[in-house]
Amino acid sequence: MSSARCKQLSDFVYAEARALDECRYEDWLHLFASDGVYWMPLEPGQTDPVLVTSLMYEDLFLLTLRVRRLSGERTYSQKPMSRCHHLLQRPCVDDVDEKAGRFTVTTAFHYVETRRDEQQLYAGWARYELCLEQDELRIKCKRVDLVNCDAAFGNIQLLM
């Protein structure tokens, strides 16, 4: 793999987190492939997002609804809006298939979500299965594994 491709993949992961931190949710949605999914398992090492309950398993349609809810005028649970911040470890490129245009990148993260006087801290790993669509990188699957995924959580308002 070329160093240019490695940099492109790392830059993509950083740009994705920045879009979320800056509340640019429409831009973030455009990073997904047409059949892309966002998955947050409920169990450590979970392998099935469909037959086993997950914290989140959303396709592009459901992600679009979530984004529209966040910016809706009648979304009183977001007045004032929640804010977030990602702190990422340098992304590691795990797998490259240039011929098929498929790449896997993983990064460890700390994530803070805040609204009014409440602040939540989460830690985990994000695994990106990326693909090329019309020569642009897109997210085929973003898997967010929380360190304490099997804990009892309150409402997670935003996207990690």
- Model pLDDT for residues 8-66, shown as the tens digit of each residue: 999 999 999 999 999 999 999 999 999 999 999 999 999 999 999 999 999 999 999 98
| 153 confidence band (pLDDT: 50, 70, 90) | confident
Domain boundaries, the chain: 3-146
Which residue type occupies 31?
Answer: L
pLDDT digits (tens, 9 = 90+) for 112-129: 998 888 889 999 999 999
pLDDT for residue 78 is more than 70: no
- DSSP sequence for 73-94: TT-GGGSSPPEEEEEEPPPEEE
pLDDT of residue 146: 97
Distance CA 150, CA 75 (A): 28
- Cβ-contact 10, 90 below 8 angstroms: yes
Quote the pLDDT of residue 77. Answer: 67
**In whole angstroms, what is the distance from residue 153 CA to residue 27 CA?**
28
56, 150, 142: which is closest to 106 by C-alpha? 142
Residue 42 burial by Cβ neighbours in a 10 Å radius (0-12, 13-18, 19+): middle
CATH top-level class of 3-146: alpha beta
